[in-house]
Amino acid sequence: MATANPIPEATTSSAKAGSGLLVLISAMPAEQRESVLANLAAAYPQQEMLVASPDPQPEEMRPWLRFIPAPASKVNWTLTAADFVSAFQLAEKNQARAILMLGPESGALSVGELRSLARAVLSDQIDLALPCYALPPYAGLFNSALLYPLTRALFASRVRFPLAPDLGMSLRMAQSMAIVAQKFTAANQGETPVWPVNEATVAGFAIEQFPVSPQPQSHSNRPDLNTILPFVTGPLFSDIEVKAAYWQRFRPLPPPFHAPTSPDLHGADAAMEIAPMLQAFRLAHTNLQEIWSLVLPPNSLLGLKRLSTVTDAATFRISDNLWARIVYDFLLAYRLRTLNRGHLLGALIPLYLAWVASHINITASGIDPERHIEEQAAAFEAEKPYMVSRWRWPDRFNP
Amino acid sequence: MQIVSLTMLQSVVDLNTPPPYADNTTLWHHITGSLHQSLLNVLSLLLAILPGLLALVVALAIFTLIGMAFSALLRWGLTAVKFDERLARGRTSLDWAPTTSPTELTARVSFWACVLLGLLIGVSAFDASYATATMQTGALLPYLTRIVGGALLLIAGTLVARFLARSVLIGAVNAQLEYARFLSLGVKWLVLVLTAATVLDHLQIGGVVVELAFGILFGGIVLTLALAVGLGSRDLVSRSLESHTEHPGEPNPIHHTSIPEESIRHF
């Protein structure tokens, strides 16, 4: 029986693109896509380029841009396993040398930024090129609280946005990602996020990040925090578990990368919003003791108890070390399956909200948000021996 | 063997001391005769089921030994072919994946499967010998099966109750419902009551009484939960309605129950 090929045969003849670059654009509104295409055309004028998109071909034709259909992704706000598999398949069929994957908000990337990302992966020296977004102080908080510190502490990488929706990959990096992603797609888990920074670090590939302009603040088609946090954290914890042999060894960090910042437009509003977060934390402290006590050691529980009694919202601070240990303990409980993983990650949400409230308070007191994020990441590094120790001997007494 | 035992018993009875009261010899003879008969019945029954009991023990012992040997063989074989490593290579984030290594798990499962098989064979042999001895239809095994089924139902029900209680608790806390714990407890007891009723019904204990009691309890819990949630959310609902009817343009005053995302962006 003949099986349907998701990639049309016609695309194979369109090989040998001038630049050897395959640009994979995720589904996005027509105006956004037009902006991306205009920037791409400006970045590589008159050069033949393959553009793969799940959206229909635009009416305005640019003869040097060859359009090929790409499978639509179920999750469009981040790159998933299915995206990486299809990216590599398309690149291989069209003999592309490098891949540029652009997310739904990539219309904000300037010509120079697109060129930097593409040039890096086409140069054969960089395998993974990632943007470092200039976000407002209170944006990308989950990345600052968990993804960045964990990636930095465990994989010795300073990539500020490990789950960036836009990235550039060399062909060998794409192949490596496709191999990993294939396991998920084969298990019908194609919408699972995969972790290019972790893969590149373990494989010894060269990673580079480039500062990019502020991203637009849209909230369209994004599930809420209760859905996103387990969706992202679960695969990250699984990936860390799989790569335990790598990160348990000490590795030096690359030199610091100064992340660009954008002006604080909502500082006062954010300070107003910590009250519901603290309320969520206190409610959770009253009700989730039984679950937290399965995961956290007595010392951390005591720290949380003290935090729950803080009455003045403005003085609420969760110490960097406590947050680092909480995340590590949840990671350990995830590995040990102390309780159902869905429950475990659900129980992390109020603690994350407490961290957000604390971060807002700290930055409201005049400390630069980026400095606090770096201090937080440094605390994760400092607590890594605790994590390694508990990972190796989980039954040993813990403080 | 049975004949020899009966003869020995007969001789034991013959050596008994004479009755203390000579006048009541007839009565004494009746009593001793009855006791003698009862003792004979019990001993003959014991002797009849002894082979079955022995078969149960032997079957269990043999299959346990087989299980031990089989599991050791499996453990050795799977370690030799690096089963764990091969499986880990194709591993994805499965939520149901077990804690122990696949090799260890396979070995344990095979061992306990053998033990269970031995138990089943032993119980069958025991039940057959018991039924023959009592000249009745084999009623022990079906009831044993029911008891095992009931125990499994109880375990499953308890696990489901705990899982659902935690799911509801975490979901309610993340939805910032003040009565999260109460809701979770209600769900837990609903499932536990349902489980208890199912187990009793499975064991055929109680009959209609259990059904009635279950109906009353289940209905009571649901009513209590409904009242509690309804009364607990009264202010919330009224404020929500007021905000929509009186001040449609103003922001929702119950914003403290949901986290606004105007200036804070988590991702």
The H or E element containing residue A308 is helix A298-308
Q: Can you say whether the dihedral through the CA atoms of A143, A313, A378, A246 is positive or negative?
A: negative
By the CB < 8 Å criterion, does B96 face chain A? Answer: no
Chain B residues touching A216 at Cβ < 8 A: none
Which chain A residues are within 8 Å of B87, Cβ to Cβ? none
ipTM above 0.85, yes or no: no
**Distance from C-alpha of A297 to C-alpha of A329, rounded to nearest angstrom:** 8
Residues near B226 by beta carbon (within 8 Å), at least 6 away in sequence: none
What confidence tier does A226 reach under pLDDT thresholds 50, 70, 90?
confident
CA distance B186 to chain A (A): 14
User: Min CA distance, A183 vs chain B (Å)?
Assistant: 6
B259, A277: Cβ pair inside 8 Å?
Answer: yes
Of A129-138, A250-259, A370-379, which one has max mean pLDDT?
A370-379
Hey, is A168 helix, strand or coil?
Answer: strand
Name the B residues in 202-231 with CB < 8 Å from any A CB. Answer: none
Three-class DSSP category at B17: coil
Cβ neighbours for A382, distance < 8 A, ≥ 6 positions apart:
A321, A324
Closest CA to A185 of B261, A177, B13: A177
Which residues from A are below 8 Å from B173, CB to CB? 280, 283-284, 287-288, 350
Side-chain-side CA neighbours of A271 within 13 Å: the count stands at 13
Average pLDDT over residues B16-35: 72
Q: Which token pair is A98?
A: 């490098």
pLDDT tier at A19, thresholds 50, 70, 90: low
CATH code, residues A17-247: 3.90.550
Size of interface A-B (CB pairs under 8 A): 122
Give the closest-approach CA distance of B194 to chain A in angstroms: 23
Residue extents of the structural domains in chain B: 1-14+26-89+98-138, 139-259
Q: Which of A110, A330, A356, A107 is nearest to A234 (CA)?
A: A330
Least confident of A38-52, A138-152, B2-16: B2-16
Interface of A with B in 207-246 (CB under 8 A): 217, 219, 222, 225-226, 228-229, 232, 234-235, 238-239, 242
Tell me the shortest Cα–Cα distance from A60 to chain B, in angstroms. 33
Q: What is the pTM of this model?
A: 0.76
Distance CA A127, CA A81 (A): 18
Question: According to the model, what pLDDT value does residue A2 have?
Answer: 38
Judged by a CB distance cut-off of 8 A, whether residue A15 touches chain B is: no
Instruction: Classify the phi-psi angles of A105: left when phi > 0, otherwise alpha if psi is within -120 to 50, otherwise beta.
Output: alpha
Coil, helix or strand at residue A113: helix
> Does A123 reach chain B within 8 Å, measured CB to CB?
no
| Residue A350: pLDDT over 80 | yes
Q: What is the DSSP letter of A143?
A: I
- A69-92 mean pLDDT: 84
The two structure tokens encoding residue A61: 């034709």
Beta-bridge mates of residue A65: A49
Out of A143, A337, A353, closest to residue B99 by CB: A337
- pLDDT tens digit string along B40-75? 888 887 887 788 888 889 999 999 999 999 999 998
Phi, psi of B203, rounded to the nearest 5 degrees: -85, 0
The b/e string for A35-71 (b: 16+ C-beta within 10 A; e otherwise) is bbbebbbebbeeebbbbbbbbeeeeeeeebbbbbbbb
Return residues 311-370 of A near B (CB < 8 Å).
Answer: 336-337, 339-343, 346-347, 349-350, 353, 356, 360
Q: Which of A161, A226, A269, A283 to mutate to test the interface with B (most CBs of B within 10 A)?
A: A283
> Cα(A217)–Cα(B262) distance, rounded to whole angstroms?
9
Closest CA to B97 of A340, A69, A170, A370: A340
Indicate the pLDDT class of residue B7, thresholds 50, 70 and 90. Answer: low
User: Using one digit for the tens of pLDDT, what is the confidence trace for A312-345?
Assistant: 888 889 999 999 999 999 999 998 888 889 999 9
**Integer Cα distance of A240 and B252 in angstroms:** 41
**CB-CB under 8 Å, A356 with B264:** yes
Non-local (6+) Cβ contacts of A383 within 8 A are A153, A321, A324, A325, A328
- Measure the N-to-C terminal CA separation of chain A; round to a whole number of Å: 62
B259/A353 touch (CB, cutoff 8 Å), yes or no: yes
At residue B237, what are phi and psi to the nearest 5 degrees? -65, -45
Helix axes A274-287, A341-364, angle to 10 degrees: 140
CA angle A24-A29-A30, nearest 5°?
85
Query: What are the tens digits of pLDDT across the range A20-67?
Result: 888 888 888 878 888 888 888 887 776 777 888 887 776 666 677 788
Contacts of A1 (CB under 8 A, 6+ apart): none
Q: Looking at the DSSP assignment, which residues form a beta bridge with residue A69?
A: A53
Q: Please answer whether residues A174 and A128 qualify as being in contact, where contact means their C-beta atoms are separated by less than 8 angstroms.
A: no
Token output for A226? 């209760």
Q: Tell which residue, A254, A155, A142, has the closest CA to residue A197.
A: A155
pLDDT digits (tens, 9 = 90+) for A239-292: 999 888 899 888 888 877 777 666 655 555 656 678 888 989 999 999 999 899
For residue B62, what pLDDT is reported? 93
B266 to A217: CB separation less than 8 angstroms, yes or no? no
Q: Among candidates A253, A267, A255, A256, which has minimal Cα distance to A368?
A: A267
Query: Considering only CA atoms, which of B130, B133, B112 is closest in space to residue B64?
Result: B112
Check CB contact of A77 with chain B, cutoff 8 Å: yes
Contact (CB<8Å) B267/A142: yes
Instruction: Give domain limits for chain A.
Output: 17-247, 267-392
Q: What is the largest CA-CA distance in chain B?
A: 111
pLDDT digit string, tens, across residues B100-138: 677 888 889 999 999 988 888 888 877 777 666 665 545
SS3 A132: strand
CA distance readout (Å), A172 to A14, A166, A203, A221, A379: 21, 18, 10, 32, 34
Cβ atoms A269, B263 nearer than 8 A: yes
- CB-CB neighbors (< 8 A) of B162 in chain A: none
Please count the CA atoms within 13 angstroms of the CA of B60 that sit on its side-chain side.
12
